[in-house]
Amino acid sequence: MKTAIFSCAIAIFSTLATALPAAAPVEPAVGNLASRDHVKQVINSSAVVNINEDTPDTALGVSGAGIVSRAGSKHNSRALVKFDFPEGLGRYKCRLAFGNPVEFSGTGEIQVYTIGGANIESATFNQRPFRDQFKGTFRVAGSGEAVVVDGSGLTFDCPAKGAKAYEVVSVGDNNEVFWYAPSAGLRVDVM
Ligand SMILES: *[C@@H]1O[C@H](CO)[C@@H](O)[C@H](O)[C@H]1NC(C)=O
């Protein structure tokens, strides 16, 4: 009941916001990105495991940082990022977002893919859940929120309770993006 009223209020608010962009003092701004105003909940990553082409059979294990980089078409470092979706989000949309890296260089562009399993803890470059579907491309351009370059697959129906994992990879060469997890990097906004 409460949820229905809330959804209804959101629908009305969306309509008003479209019609009257200047008259929407309904809730305090959550930063300067309009698209973030409707975020109900943020799901931070529950595990990040880096896999590295230079040590392809070594399980680097769960890390406090994600490192995505590539140099000279080699030396790939990719990050597998897991989320534990809680119960009860079935009515909502989830959206992958990326923010607050500590370091970046090169194009700063990274792509996100779904992977074929959430069992990432002992993954290596050679043995890991297979890469599945392309979700989107971000460009890290500063220490705040990354720019969405291709958002085609970033928004999806929130899944039932359970874990899902994604792979973050570098676009192009001589590129690096580094973030501390779980407080930054890839996250899921519930809308
Ligand atoms: C997610 O990370 C942000 C940034 O550090 C933090 O403010 C927030 O409390 C975290 N949320 C949860 C549910 O842990």
pTM for the structure as a whole:
0.81
The pLDDT assigned to 22 comes to 41
Asked, for residue 69, whether it belongs to a domain, the answer is yes
Nearest-CA residue for ligand 1 atom 4 is 183
Range of the domain at 114: 41-190
| 72 falls within a domain | yes
As for how many domains the chain has, the answer is 1
15 CA distance to ligand 1 middle (Å): 30
Tell me whether residue 55 is in a domain. yes
- pLDDT tens digits for range 141-179: 999 999 999 999 999 999 999 999 999 999 999 999 999
Share of the chain above pLDDT 70, in %: 81
What pLDDT is recorded for position 15? 37
Report the distance separating Cα 29 and Cα 36, nearest Å: 9
- CA of 180 from ligand 1 middle (Å) equals 12
Give distance in angstroms: CA of 43 to centre of ligand 1.
Answer: 8
Closest atom of ligand 1 relative to the 100 alpha carbon: 4
Q: What is the mean pLDDT of residues 32-44?
A: 75
Q: Are 71 and 174 contacting, i.e. CB atoms less than 8 angstroms apart? A: yes
